Chain A
Amino acid sequence: MGVTTALEWLSSCSGCEIAILNIGEDLVELLTDHLDIVHAPVIMDHKYFGQCGDEGSHLEIPEAVVGLVSGGVANEEHLEVLEEMRKKCKVLIALGSCATQGGIPALMNGQNSAASFEAIYQSSSTDKGAELPNQGVPKLLERTYALDEKVKIDLMLPGCPPNPAHIAEVITALLEDREPELPTKSVCDTCPTKREGKGMVNTVKRYTENVEFDPEKPISEMRCLLEQGYLCMGPVTAAGCAKRGAPSCIDARVPCRGCFGSVMPKGNQMLDMMNALASNGIDFKSVVDRRSMLRFSGAHGNLRPKRSTAAKEE
């Protein structure tokens, strides 16, 4: 019998679950020999209210040693599932940036979410008179939360998606009863691009043309994208995305947008980046839509509806 494990997903997209699959062939051995999956909606049929859906009114998840939860908390059902996972799992892991810092869905925290959700049912293609559904569907919370805003989390594994190698490392470390080895630095610290020192750049360009590089040459021959004048969130973003040497987006010759969240758990990627730009003599006001710098870390009160933050931001 392996180590009992439960998986859940809340306000999420299933990218984290695909990242688990992307562990590849090693996953087969983990699943068959080392883990005993007791609950995981994406791959197995355990149900909340008994297998025939006729037992009790409180959702039930079996006890497990390890619990992995992806997605943030955006409605009442997410909260109920998360609390049940906390109650039943010895070690609870927040998997992916939605779970650790809110992720993309927490962009909704930057606006009046109640009005926005209603407006979705009044779109150009929707029948006139339609309203936000309200019968038997989980009520939406006033904003999207990271998991540690609601329950105690034992381990954070960020990334959008998280790196399959790190998921495997965390599981293996738990099986071997040791601390997992995970990156602690920033994307910049792990980026091989060429830095030539502070240059002539004083404003930030939009990414509407490709960066300058020679496709025949390795990433280490390409100049740093910030030095090329693009917004690249590398300095303020946690490392971990690199799979073949270079950070993933840099590998595709595209600037980083911060998908592993802030380097320090409670950091603020927007404020940190504005500081980083300013200290390099770059006018941060040239960044169109600065709030987008919080697109992966809008939970923990970082992103709020515009009226209340306008003064602070400007």
Chain B
Amino acid sequence: MGKVLQIQPVTRIEGHARISVHLNDEGNVEDAYMSLMSLRGFEKFIEGRPAEEVPRIVNRICGICPWMHHTASNKAVDGCFGVTPTPTGHKLRELLQVMAHINDKILHFFFLAAPDFVLGPDADYSVRNVIGVVKAAPELATQVVKMRQLGQMMIDRFAGKAIHPIAAVVGGFSKPMLEPERRELLKDTRTLLDFSEYALDFAKEYVFNKYMDVIGELGVINTGFLGTVDREDGSFRIYDGTQRLMRADGSYVDFKGEDYLDYLGEHVEPWGYGKMPYAKSWDEGFSLDLDAPKGIYRANTLARLNVCNQMSTPKAQAALEEFREAFGRPAQATLLYHYARLIELVYACERTIELLEWDGITGTDVRAKVTPGAGRGVGVVEAPRGTLIHDYTTDADGCIESANLIVGTTHNIGPMNMSVKQAATSLIKDGAYDQGILNKVEMAVRAYDP
């Protein structure tokens, strides 16, 4: 009789998931699934709410990336009410959204993923965690804790709340930035930029070079990619731009956020609450078959680096060139998500500095005039975990009539299932498995930072 291994909960990720590995009589993998276990229903319970309130409700979708939902939602409500934010309001929103990427990447790489590399994938579970990292590498850990805290507190000081923000508003921003605040933020971001360069060098030497064989094998699948690029020159963008859907062969189409329904569909399986977005426009249906996937693309860091023509900031561009030299475009190895994440960390710091150095950032005209009314708005930003889409329709009172959300993480549910199956199949043979092997299967999920 075969059996099912229930790896539950999947740990050091940001949500609720379970991996089920089905073994046959010989102890080989018959199938493997990763299921999302929770459902809250945001799309339905924002119905009837005044739309201008929604950006401070939907931020609760994710306490790690609340700024992403907050800004995407504000963009959608702008669309519903037909308002264009003032230039300063628009840039303040981008500034905060980009700053929020900084903490997120430090958090994911060092707090959640690094234990697998610093202590080793096979280390005992009781030490294979951030507390273990603190004990094994106290100097690095102290620095990491300080830098994440600095990034988080910069946002908190200026915008009142870093977690579950309120300061971005329909039409712009709730308050202007004062010159002393700008100077302070600039100084702190330069510290973070130094750290981000150090982090990338550290990871290249002690993680990517050291684990190159694992990177070349673990959870590797072949898919397309989705991300956002600059409307003019195809540069990497995370706040605003055009959406780019790339096939595994590197060819791509660009589309406007509001046209997403023509390009993306969502597939549902009965074994998990998460819907699985797929490329409807490829007209090939949906399949997670490892050898012949259909409609499958990936989002998040590696995808964004793959789809962009170049990075618009110098240090991140140099890092991208080195990355492409080594792994090509599009790069497919799943663990490269970590490498791409650290290149994005450098970009986020550089872009924050650019925005803070923009003359208009301390302007006082932060919010355009807003009149609630009927309309439709689609707000798209790049969340750390992927392209985030908020699509709202409002009634004549400016209250939400209907809403559709495609949340960043969900783009990768299909691919994560493929990576889990690939990893489990290649690692578990003839009934031989242990906690280290099963942790490697989880590492294939952790790379996607779900």
Contacts and interface: CB of A to CB of B under 8 A. Distances in A.
Interface in A77-105: 77, 103-105
A94 to B, nearest CB: 16
A159 to B, nearest CB: 10
Contacts of A41: 9-11, 16
A25 B268 contact: no
Given A11-B38, A43-B112, A22 B125 contact: no
B383 to A, nearest CB: 13
A259 to B, nearest CB: 7
Contacts of A51: 125, 435, 438
Interface string A94-133: 0000000001110110110100110111011111001101
Nearest to A14: B63
Given A31-B131, A207-B52, A252-B175, A45 B265 contact: no
Nearest to B142: A28
Q: Is the interface of A mostly helix, strand, loop or mixed?
A: loop
B170 interface: yes
Given A136-B271, A206-B372, A254 B435 contact: no
Given A27-B145, A125-B260, A133-B273, A161 B163 contact: yes
A176 interface: no
A140 B145 contact: no
B129 A44 contact: yes
Contacts of A12: 63
B166 A252 contact: yes
Given A47-B9, A123-B43, A136 B63 contact: no
Interface in A166-199: none
Contacts of A127: 265-268, 286
Contact of B40 (A42, A108, A135, A161): A108
Interface string B1-18: 001011111111011100
Interface residues of B, number: 109
B66 A15 contact: yes
Interface residues of A, number: 88
B146 A25 contact: yes
A19 B66 CA distance: 13
B190 interface: no
A15 B63 contact: yes
Contacts of B8: 47-49, 53, 59
A52 B40 contact: no
B336 interface: no
Contacts of A161: 63, 163-164
A206 B406 CA distance: 28
A281 interface: no
A3 to B, nearest CB: 14
Contacts of A108: 40-41, 44-45
A17 interface: yes
A18 interface: yes
A300 interface: no
Given A53-B21, A252-B161, A289-B50, A123 B404 contact: yes
A127 B277 CA distance: 10
Interface in B368-406: 369-372, 391, 397-399, 404, 406
A49 B6 contact: yes
Interface string B157-186: 101111110110111001110100000000
A78 to B, nearest CB: 8
B148 A21 contact: yes
A134 interface: yes
A41 B38 CA distance: 15
Contacts of A119: 44
Interface stretch (A145-153, A241-249, A262-270, A271-279): A241-249
B20 interface: yes
Interface stretch (B54-62, B296-304, B309-317, B338-346): B54-62
B372 A208 contact: yes
Contacts of A75: 37-39
A15 B67 CA distance: 12
Contacts of A133: 268-273
A295 interface: yes
A288 B260 contact: no
Given A47-B125, A53-B5, A110-B45, 10 more contacts: A11-B40, A15-B66, A18-B152, A24-B153, A111-B47, A207-B53, A208-B171, A210-B175, A257-B166, A289-B53
23 contacts: A15-B62, A15-B64, A21-B148, A22-B153, A25-B142, A45-B442, A47-B125, A49-B8, A53-B6, A75-B38, A105-B40, A111-B47, A117-B39, A117-B44, A120-B43, A135-B270, A137-B272, A210-B367, A248-B161, A250-B160, A254-B160, A289-B48, A289-B50
Interface of A: 9, 11-19, 21-22, 24-25, 27-28, 31-32, 37, 41-49, 51-54, 59, 74-75, 77, 103-105, 107-108, 110-111, 113, 116-117, 119-121, 123-127, 130-131, 133-138, 140, 160-161, 206-210, 213, 215-216, 243-244, 248-254, 257, 259, 288-289, 292, 295
